[in-house]
Structure 1
């Protein structure tokens, strides 16, 4: 006998269960209830699940998970829903309005209000009617949890029917990618030349150091780190061996032991970036106050659901944002030092709750030991330069050489839309709207690590990057057929667009200051008269 049929759930039933504390999303018409224990154990972090509560997550789940993992999810099915021609009518995930579940001292779970939701009062391209931003909550307002009203989505400028068509076409595109064998890793043709390049940079750095050519050694070490990051990126997406344990061990060795950065931090940060790309309150990859703001929304001192704090737009922010287009390359050249800070902060904050998958705490401990080893060998290299001046030079040069990587990353997103079009937006539509490619000649593609094809990477994050070029032709066909923009530009044009975006925000800040000063002068004059 087969398993008994699951009951059909209405949208109201799904909403009621969410308000009662269940973590529920829709997967190919099935109602999936995520156990509380799995939220903390999810390799991609709890937030990647929380952003899809009450929504149809089918496209995202297929993009980020292998088939055997998806089959395991089906075991958590508690019901089914009717998916009409316009698809599932989504609910607003509680995290989007500042609500999360937390445990009491006795272990009982309850709703906690992290931030206040600010709904758009306009319906413009920059601030559509569907937009919800988070700000610091008002402590005088009391509430015991999200309401049925807060789960309802604001009016959206998008058509559910058209978004459903985009979704159906994306599923067909994904099948074409699978049938073309593009998930198969090219170990020899793809990684062979890269491993040779890694060895060349490592040997060059060592020989130059032994010959006391410290500057040349530092440049070579920085080039090694720059290139290794691309393989770490693949491993973090399970795009090399496609096995969690194998990819995680290799990535820890490369990222932590050789590069001094936490792969655990990067995976959680990067996964969130993929699922809520360019959202001012949720995407950590655009939350860089006080140094950068790519939208005036940051002037509101938004709350970050990732960092769990207010991003205060203070005097320091006003100073740096006012000249961010001029300081762009200076700050980017030092960006790696911020990655060290974020890595150590992540390991510290997860010391009591490491990711508990495939054997428990071993991955966390392997990272800690790896970073200690990195400090041992890299510290010895710095001290071995003979003087503090040479040591400082080695430190700065080796960490500044990888900076083109940071520039490349922001080129793909900083000049793109930061509007929140709500849960109704399809996965494919969101990625095309918020992401762009960097056009480059094949002979210099290795400088971008193959990740200049960011649109296709965002469509299929697990795809081995050596197959992105072939897959991009199919994605461009998809975009053309669906009437969607596939954005791409040259490296120089991309830099110009990003600096133009930064200058535009800086100019708006300048205008805001002028208006404030004028109002102050008017108030003083009025008081005098």
Structure 2
């Protein structure tokens, strides 16, 4: 009798509610109006807009703890999804998530945070000591390298704190984010959240994932030659003669650009923090950036001459570029697509657009857990110390549903990435054919 009293709408009707002023979502077949909530959503409004008008159960499970379910009722419309269905892949994914939750894996964070913080403090002390207390040119350059390694570990801590609490409370966790992101690296945690959440939801969508939108410098697919409109930035990704020139040589410029990629991250931080866009905790983010731009130039100024100062900064940037390269290896050579992400193929899209880096367990600290990129994308709230443990279960699920699980050595991943960039570069040089001749050719040649 209760079921007869329920009100239903179809998926087609739900799709009509996909605008900022009219934003509905379905979770486990119940329809919610999140129009007002989108403005306060901790993960930002873009992730909700990208999935607007769809059932988003898998994405909700991936990003939210069990305590979040109780807050949904306030947005319930009273409607249920009439044609609500769950694929076999989603059923298995949800069973796995429930299994991890019941066994407490999301709460078992290990001692990785303590070890990382300790290593950061030791490397920072050694770096400052080398600059301030030594006169050796070699020690100064090695100090720059140590600073680069420090920034890598700090970035992993910021990443962890952004996905789950590494501290005892939300307040201390936010403090950790500002310290690790803004104060120590000069990269705003607000900017990172803005782009990173969109990347997770729209993994490897050429027009929705900001992590693939690098024109005019890089293009991972010749589909970008069509000057797609970025849904994230709200502007056209213009492929003009300027972009054609740079893309034509991108397989040669990739590593040199990665060595100075940090400059772009500083620029993006300033563009966001001083934009008209609503930025959570704008004031404290700006204050944190100010801290960085006081201590870092001051440290560099203690070096004896401009030659050593420039080399010190370049050494720190070059070491950190290993991490920038790693981020590219995880996605550049994977499959891409055009269009908005869909809520009903969450597992499939993550496996399609993600590549793991195979390494020994003693190297986990170096890669910060992100070598298990697929595991992280499927379960972003899972502490990094658990990713290696769940990897066999993810592989088993991929095998069961005939989905790709790609785990390459660091060298192999580099080769795949360069091959992808080279393929797009050669196409960019073909002035008579700036777009793919056919989809089969694109699939065979672009993705390795």
**TM-score, with structure 1 as normaliser:** 0.77
Match of 1:203 in 2: 125
Match of 2:77 in 1: 78
Q: 2:326, 2:332 → 1: CA distance?
A: 10
> How far 1:315 moved relative to its partner?
2.1
Alignment of 1:103-252 (within 5 A): 164-188=87-111, 190-210=112-132, 211-212=134-135, 213-241=139-167, 244-252=170-178
Q: 1:224, 1:43 → 2: CA distance?
A: 28
| Cα separation, partners in 2 of 1:207 and 1:24, compared to 1, 3 Å | same
Task: Please say which structure displays the higher CA radius of gyration.
Answer: 1
| Cα separation, partners in 2 of 1:232 and 1:208, compared to 1, 3 Å | same
Q: Which runs of 5+ in 2 are unaligned?
A: 435-448
Match of 1:444 in 2: 363
Q: 1:20, 1:452 → 2: CA distance?
A: 36
Q: Which runs of 5+ in 1 are unaligned?
A: 88-163, 356-362, 517-529
> How far 1:292 moved relative to its partner?
0.6
What SS does the corresponding residue of 1:32 show, helix, strand or coil?
Answer: strand
What SS does the corresponding residue of 1:426 show, helix, strand or coil?
Answer: helix
| Cα separation, partners in 2 of 1:425 and 1:16, compared to 1, 3 Å | closer
> How far 1:480 moved relative to its partner?
1.6
Match of 2:243 among 308, 311, 317: 317
> Does 2:268 align with 1:342?
yes
Match of 1:509 among 423, 428, 432: 428
Q: 1:221, 1:17 → 2: CA distance?
A: 49
RMSD (CA atoms): 2.2
Match of 1:353 in 2: 278
> How far 1:245 moved relative to its partner?
3.2
Match of 1:158 in 2: none
Match of 1:281 among 207, 222, 234: 207
User: Which structure shows the bigger proportion of residues in helix conformation?
Assistant: 2
Match of 1:93 in 2: none
> How far 1:187 moved relative to its partner?
4.3
| Cα separation, partners in 2 of 1:372 and 1:198, compared to 1, 3 Å | same
Q: 2:60, 2:356 → 1: CA distance?
A: 23
> How far 1:6 moved relative to its partner?
5.6
Match of 2:442 in 1: none
Alignment check: 8 A CA contact 1:252 1:263 kept: yes
Alignment check: 8 A CA contact 1:182 1:471 kept: no
Alignment check: 8 A CA contact 1:239 1:464 kept: no
| Cα separation, partners in 2 of 1:442 and 1:11, compared to 1, 3 Å | closer
Alignment check: 8 A CA contact 1:437 1:454 kept: yes
| Cα separation, partners in 2 of 1:216 and 1:21, compared to 1, 3 Å | closer
> How far 1:209 moved relative to its partner?
1.0
Alignment check: 8 A CA contact 1:293 1:502 kept: yes
Q: 1:508, 1:383 → 2: CA distance?
A: 46
Deviation by residue 1:255-281 (Cα, 9 ceiling, x = unmatched): 111111100000110000000011111
Match of 1:57 in 2: 56
Alignment of 1:20-59 (within 5 A): 21-36=21-36, 38-59=37-58
**TM-score, with structure 2 as normaliser:** 0.90
Match of 1:9 in 2: 9
Match of 1:488 in 2: 407
Of structures 1 and 2, the one scoring higher in RCO (CA 8 A, sep 6+) is: 2
What SS does the corresponding residue of 1:327 show, helix, strand or coil?
Answer: helix
Number of aligned residues:
427
